[in-house]
Amino acid sequence: MPEVYERCTDAGNEPGFRYGATHCQSCYDECWKTGLWPTDIDGQQCPGGPQ
């Protein structure tokens, strides 16, 4: 999972869905819960996932 998070931050790291979290952190948190890197959360893409 760390390599996916790195690719996400390389693509840009906008503010996330929770106060104080970045967008990539929100994507990572969702991945932690489900075991899969999400393609998007509420319409915002989660870059860096499997191609």
Q: What is the pLDDT of residues 10-45, one digit of tens each?
A: 776 666 666 667 888 888 888 899 999 999 888 888
> Comparing 34 with 9, which gets the higher pLDDT?
34
Q: Could you tell me the pTM of the whole model?
A: 0.71
- Predicted confidence at residue 35, as pLDDT, reads 92
- Predicted confidence at residue 33, as pLDDT, reads 92
Q: What would you report as the CA-atom Rg of the chain, rounded to the nearest whole angstrom?
A: 10
Predicted confidence (pLDDT) at residue 50 exceeds the cutoff of 90: no
Q: How many Å separate Cα 7 from the centre of its chain?
A: 9
For residue 31, the one-letter residue type is C
